[in-house]
Amino acid sequence: MKINQFLDATYLKTATQASITEEENQQKVVDLINEAILYNYKLVMIRSKYISLAKKMFLESKADFLIGTVIDFPEGNSSTEIKLKEAQKAIDLGADELDFVVNYTAFKEGKIAMIKEQVLKATKLCIENNKVAKWIIEVAALTREEIIVISQLIKEVVLENFDEAAVKKVFVKSSTGFFKTQDNTPNGATFETMKLISENAKPLQIKAAGGVRDYGTALKMISIGVDRIGTSSSKEICTKEKSHKTGY
């Protein structure tokens, strides 16, 4: 298995969140892109302000990784119109994949029509521009039943409005990794939540994000149906796979 092709190598902190300067934060992005060139990751997931930098490095290195960014991140509570405007800007900059934070607060309040409109219009924008759309549902903010319902909702909107080729370009994704939980409970993907998403979102693809930091966990995620893994530990995962193959 080429586990690198399952990995969305991720760095999404702002300079303020990382408590470093803007220059230092940009260097972290540069380091991630260089790592992606070396390890041939599937994708680098970065803030939209760094897309142009990634494109430049991509072209200079003749690498073939994809560039992803996040939309309405991490709260997801902007209007559909704002989401679409932000998404169009990312598309114009050259993003290949867009990870939208669904308005999970509105969903929990029962505003189902709003969520359906959001998923439909933003997915349509991506499909029309030959981009991949991923919907972050923020599992740590949801109950087990809510995870099931929102996964089915996204699936139904996509299956009812897009053809088979388009369906393959839509994901349901677990988490932002930025949600603050109580009592230090997991704020990202767990095996239980990814099984729930897999059972209720397929044939859409699914992405595990938040908390996948080692090779064993990544392998198990793939075994339960995960198609992509968002992680800040891509190098560690790939290095471990290599050591397994060589016996060291």
Residues tagged active-site:
99, 173, 207
What burial class does residue 22 get, using C-beta atoms within 10 Å of its C-beta: 0-12 exposed, 13-18 middle, 19+ buried?
Answer: exposed
Tens-digit pLDDT profile for residues 85-141:
999 999 999 999 999 999 999 999 999 999 999 999 999 999 999 999 999 999 999
Q: Record the pTM.
A: 0.95
| Cβ–Cβ under 8 Å, residues 234 and 39 | yes
Summarize pLDDT for 50-91 with one digit per residue, the tens: 999 999 999 999 988 999 999 999 999 999 999 999 999 999
Q: How many CA atoms lie within 13 A of 158 on its CB side?
A: 30
Q: What number of helices (H) and strands (E) belong to the chain?
A: 11, 8
Indicate the fold that domain 3-246 takes in CATH: TIM Barrel (3.20.20)
As a whole number of angstroms, the distance between CA 144 and CA 147 comes to 5
